């Protein structure tokens, strides 16, 4: 039964992936992309990588899908969403087929990799979740750069808007109908989503979860409340929102400097203080990730509406 499920998942992933890149229509491609991300989340769960599965569902399928839908809606409002005829990119197709063939050969020809032995290092990392230990202790450089890249992506998005457009406050183009389902959800779901997001961050130290997963959930909660009219969209000029954007990377860098002064090197965590330090960094990163994702979805001021 499990073999049949795995074969079906592989067929669905390949079929939906092909429909995403070869189908006609931007909106249809975005829907297939979201479906593709959800299927990959199931695949990762089947492989036992539950942290990756949760991140795939929340970030790749959920958040990225929302960003693509928002971009498509903005293009339609600007009358710039004209469909272009589909042409086969032969060099890209050859490269993709070559990569697929190489991965297939590696799967059948190379010996199965052995899992690293973390029995000695994991207790010294301060956390019980090996994924969190790698991301925030053994390979903290990577996670620090990821948080900075996320902030850089937001700044790059803001640079697309002209200076005069910032006279208009930010706001989502989608609003809930008063008395509708989304308006009701905007008042009922936020407390549940807030608890779940905080739980993901706290549980990520020992089980599945973490800052990126929790931050994505909190960002979704914030967006729903904004669309329901419960909260106003963040104002970029307010110091509190700017501080929230740099809180995570700032705490991360400060912890790295503290490690360089009091421990063995930059981003090194003393075993006795590793867990509280990791939880503090994760909490700060969650705030920055949530605010950054919200502002990424809202995007820069819509110049088309500004000039109308």
**Is residue 131 pLDDT above 80, yes or no?**
yes
pLDDT-based confidence at residue 254 (cuts at 50, 70, 90): very high
**Is residue 307 pLDDT above 50, yes or no?**
no
How does pLDDT run across 172-207, given as a tens digit for each residue? 666 666 767 767 777 788 888 889 989 989 888 888
CB count in 10 Å sphere of residue 126 = 22
pLDDT-based confidence at residue 249 (cuts at 50, 70, 90): very high
pLDDT score of 195: 92
Share of the chain above pLDDT 90, in %: 15
How does pLDDT run across 62-72, given as a tens digit for each residue? 888 888 887 77
C-alpha to C-alpha distance for 208 and 228, rounded to whole angstroms: 30
Taking the CA of residue 211 as centre, how many other CA atoms within 13 Å lie in the half-sphere pointing to its CB? Answer: 26
pLDDT score of 286: 93
End-to-end C-alpha distance for the chain, whole angstroms: 59
Mean pLDDT along residues 274-298? 90
pTM of the model: 0.79
pLDDT score of 85: 60
How does pLDDT run across 44-54, given as a tens digit for each residue? 888 888 888 88
C-alpha to C-alpha distance for 23 and 34, rounded to whole angstroms: 14
- Joined tokens for residue 155: 């700044």
pLDDT-based confidence at residue 124 (cuts at 50, 70, 90): confident
Residues 6+ apart with CB under 8 A from 305: 77, 168
pLDDT score of 50: 85
Task: Please state the domain extents for the chain.
Answer: 1-114, 118-308
297 closest CA partner among 214, 222, 200: 222
pLDDT score of 305: 46
pLDDT score of 127: 82
Confirm if 278 and 205 have CB atoms less than 8 A apart: yes
80 vs 118, more confident = 118
The domain made up of 1-114 is a member of CATH 1.20.120.1200 = yes
DSSP states of the chain as a string?
-HHHHHHHHHHHHHHHHHHHHHSS-HHHHHHHHHHHHHHHHHHHHHTT-HHHHHHIIIIIIIIHHHHHHHHHHHHHHTT----------HHHHHHHHHHHHHHHHHHHHSPPPPPP--TTTHHHHS-S-HHHHIIIIITHHHHHHHHHHHHHHHHHHHTTS-GGGGGSPP--S--PPTTSHHHHHHHHHHHHHHHHHHHHHHHTTTSS--HHHHHHHHHHHHHHHHHTTSSPPPPTTSHHHHHHHHHHHHHHHHHHHHHHHHSSSTT---GGGHHHHHHHHHHHHHHHHHHHHHHHHH-S--HHHHH-
**Is residue 105 pLDDT above 80, yes or no?**
yes
């Amino acid at each position: 039964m499990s073999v049949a499920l795995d074969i079906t998942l592989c067929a669905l992933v390949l079929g939906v992936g092909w429909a995403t890149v070869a189908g006609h229509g931007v909106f249809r491609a975005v829907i297939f992309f979201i479906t593709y991300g959800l299927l990959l989340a199931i695949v990762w769960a089947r492989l036992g990588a539950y942290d990756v599965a949760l991140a795939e569902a929340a970030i790749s399928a959920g958040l990225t899908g929302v960003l693509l839908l928002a971009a498509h809606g903005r293009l339609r409002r600007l009358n710039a969403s004209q469909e272009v005829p589909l042409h086969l990119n032969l060099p890209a197709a050859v490269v993709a087929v070559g990569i697929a063939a190489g991965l297939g050969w590696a799967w059948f020809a190379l010996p199965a990799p052995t899992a690293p032995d973390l029995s000695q290092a994991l207790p010294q990392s301060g956390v019980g979740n090996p994924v969190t230990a790698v991301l925030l202790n053994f390979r903290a450089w990577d996670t620090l750069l990821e948080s900075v890249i996320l902030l850089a992506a937001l700044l790059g998005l803001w640079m697309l808007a002209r200076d005069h457009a910032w006279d208009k406050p930010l706001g989502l183009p989608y609003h809930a109908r008063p008395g509708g389902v989304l308006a009701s959800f905007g008042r009922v779901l936020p407390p549940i989503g807030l608890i779940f997001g905080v739980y993901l961050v706290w549980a990520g130290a020992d089980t599945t979860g973490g800052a990126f997963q929790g931050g994505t959930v909190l960002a979704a909660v914030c967006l729903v409340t904004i669309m329901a009219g419960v909260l106003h969209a963040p104002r970029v000029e307010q110091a509190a929102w700017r501080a929230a954007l740099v809180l995570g990377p700032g705490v991360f860098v400060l912890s790295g400097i503290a490690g360089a002064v009091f421990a063995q090197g930059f981003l090194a965590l003393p075993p006795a203080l590793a867990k509280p330090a990791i939880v503090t960094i994760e909490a700060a990163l969650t705030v920055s990730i949530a605010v950054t994702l919200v502002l990424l979805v809202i995007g820069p001021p819509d110049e088309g509406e500004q000039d109308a």
